A and B are shown apart, each in its own frame.
Chain A
């Protein structure tokens, strides 16, 4: 098990700054999620950790040792690829055994470890199959087993769930978290899916344009977004922003409620013109505007609302966040 440190890590491809100065510390046994839209540099950052790319600048430290020039195979890192990248000409057993064969372990030891990893992931009965004969979810488990079998210092996962059916994805997510906690391996997990990030991460690092915009526990990222990018990227629908007195006032759709519903605490009142109401089964979304700026409210079904009407809405003062109009950075009062 290990901790990972990045100090001013950069990766430039010609003019493109894929990763542009990232400082991160990942604790021993932590599950860190790198979250960002495509092109934000999260996959490149992971590939830098893996050693599949060489950094243009900065230092990568694993367990106190600078590994910038250490080849991937000597870093003690394992990786699960988006496409699983199983060896198509090897059986499941030989796929999982490959990292151990490379280490030169003897056969009984290899068998024991492969069976341990396969048991952990519940794929013991598949060991004699070829990768072409198993399902996507099973392939993904084989890929994870192959990564875990030699007990790596750090486990990297590049969108491992994105090729799975939506149905399987939820159970796979829960199980993934369970394995990680059982083994306690330091994990870096790349995704663009915020619910995956919120559900899995001990901490989330939100990336955009090659930089880390914010790093923190999922609830901090959600409730205390450091800038308008994070606030807009996390949450579905995203945070509402309206301009007041030269600053951006931000609040989440679910704290934006009819004036009578909120508790009597300190409230900020708004006049909300509803344009459209969408009933989404367990809740409803009201689209409308406050003084010409579009906002969305996320409401319980029982709240009576009619389209093309104006209502008095309010937000508790402690649920409001303020941001600089130009830079988008949060202003703390």
Chain B
């Protein structure tokens, strides 16, 4: 066999090209996943080399832990509100960006910016926006007379303490997270909207449908698969994200007003050294997310076929 034709043989070339992807999945996805699963049913800690299987004890322990339960609730609130807001705003932005107007490229660039900026950098910027003393938002509110005077709409205190009050802190985290995810949602929805044939929308127009009827009876149903994918991605990115929480509040204000599962797992497993419980927390929602993925992808596929 001539070496010249070596790479022309599909049975050689195909496995060769698959090797990097295979290695990546095994080493960086499969191995850690299996490890965290094993950890979650063991008693392993950072300081203790003793390794015993303890069955579901870690899961029973975390379920009895009130901090875990409040984190679970926080995660669900964080995810549901963020994903909803991302969907609505991404739809509005996508509607805007599929039209032609002057300076469209600049608007597009600005909208994509949060996605390209390093998340920690963006979050640090927001840290200043939401600072307990120097917040420019508070300054603006004070200037407008909405804050810092007796009888002002938002109270007489000089600052709102965005990250210092439980509800405001959660709202702030959601705001920053939505800011970050919006570009992704927008791009996915734009591609979906561009794939709807113009004649179908025009046919609906000719059939007498106004804007809202076209939106709810034609555009949204046709966009359904794409919206499903957006929800899926946004949910995963929210559920598994701890960067925003960590940079802004570290789970505070005390005790755990904005603690989410991802940050709690990190706190317990890495900071606290209890690898086993950290793994149990991290893996707790895997079945739910996997189930969600299957359902959404099934629905999307069905919608495409019909």
Contacts and interface: CB of A to CB of B under 8 A. Distances in A.
B208 A102 contact: yes
A50 B202 CA distance: 10
Contacts of B210: 73
Contacts of A78: 206-207
Contacts of B207: 73, 78, 98-99, 102, 146
Q: How large is the interface on B (under 10, 10 to 19, 20 to 34, 35 or more residues)?
A: 20 to 34
A98 B306 CA distance: 17
A72 B221 contact: no
A52 B203 CA distance: 10
B202 A52 contact: yes
A181 interface: no
A229 interface: no
Given A83-B197, A130-B306, A132-B306, A73 B208 contact: yes
Contact of A73 (B197, B205, B218, B306): B205
Contacts of A132: 305-306
Nearest to B305: A132
B102 to A, nearest CB: 15
Most central of B197, B205, B303 by chain A CB within 10 Å:
B205
Best-buried of B199, B204, B208, B209 by chain A (most CB within 10 Å): B208
B213 interface: yes
Given A89-B303, A89-B306, A132-B305, A52 B205 contact: yes
A99 B224 CA distance: 22
A77 interface: yes
A72 B222 contact: no
Interface in A38-73: 50, 52, 72-73
Nearest to B201: A85
Interface in A74-130: 77-79, 81-83, 85-89, 98-99, 102-103, 130
A232 B25 CA distance: 67
Given A89-B221, A132-B306, A99 B200 contact: no
Contacts of A89: 221-222, 224, 303, 306
Nearest to B203: A85
Interface of A is mostly: mixed
Interface string A142-167: 00001100100000000000000000
Nearest to B205: A72
Interface in B171-227: 197, 199-200, 202-210, 213, 217-218, 221-222, 224
A199 to B, nearest CB: 25
A2 to B, nearest CB: 16
Contacts of B224: 89
Given A85-B199, A132-B306, A50 B206 contact: yes
Nearest to B206: A79
Contact of A81 (B199, B221, B222): B199
Q: Which of A50, A72, A103 has the most CB of B within 10 A?
A: A72
Interface centre among B197, B203, B218 (most CB of A within 10 A): B203
Contacts of A130: 306
A87 B205 CA distance: 12
B205 A81 contact: no
Contacts of A72: 205-206
Interface in A264-287: none
B208 A103 contact: yes
Interface string B73-105: 000000000000000000000000000000000
A107 to B, nearest CB: 16
Nearest to A73: B208
A102 B197 CA distance: 21
B204 A87 contact: yes
Nearest to B200: A85
Nearest to B210: A73
A99 B207 CA distance: 5
Given A87-B200, A87-B218, A89-B221, A102 B205 contact: no
Contacts of B208: 73, 99, 102-103, 150
A88 B199 CA distance: 12
Interface in A221-267: none
A202 B142 CA distance: 75
12 contacts: A77-B206, A81-B202, A85-B197, A85-B203, A89-B221, A102-B207, A102-B208, A103-B208, A130-B306, A132-B305, A132-B306, A146-B207
Given A81-B203, A98-B204, A146-B207, 9 more contacts: A78-B207, A79-B202, A79-B203, A81-B199, A83-B197, A85-B197, A88-B222, A89-B222, A89-B306
